[in-house]
Amino acid sequence: MTQSQVHILVVDDERNIRNNLGMVLEAEGYKIDTASNGNDALLRFKEGRYDMVFIDIQMPKMDGLELLRYVRGLRRKIPVVMLTAYGTVSRAVVLHGSGGEPYVCASA
């Protein structure tokens, strides 16, 4: 699969992070869709065929961990990278307990 065939969903309520990450990934040749909250992301995920998902942990309406559970229920093996502006050891432990997802500390 070439990069142009890889379809990635970027989910973050912070517009700057969502747009910047999307632009970087598009510049690398990936096809990108974005969502600003967990509810919208879940709708997009159910409608589209994604190869990878980036999910912000702290969002309104549905947080990233809840979205992760739904995504895993629909497609267990899809690669997921969790994003957070609040990277702590306790946060990493929670993520590890949720399936060992890698996470990236991001700032607006």
pLDDT for 51 equals 97
DSSP class of residue 76 equals T
CATH class of the region 3-105: alpha beta
Domain ranges of the chain: 3-105
The type of residue at 11 is V
Alpha carbons 31 and 41: distance in angstroms, whole number: 16
CA nearest to 74, candidates 43, 102, 100: 43
The tokens describing 33, both together, are: 């869709």
Write the pLDDT tens digit of every residue in 34-84: 999 999 999 999 998 999 999 998 898 898 889 999 999 999 889 998 887
CA nearest to 41, candidates 6, 69, 20: 69
The type of residue at 66 is E
Using pLDDT thresholds of 50, 70 and 90, give the confidence band for residue 85. confident
Write the pLDDT tens digit of every residue in 93-107: 555 555 545 555 555
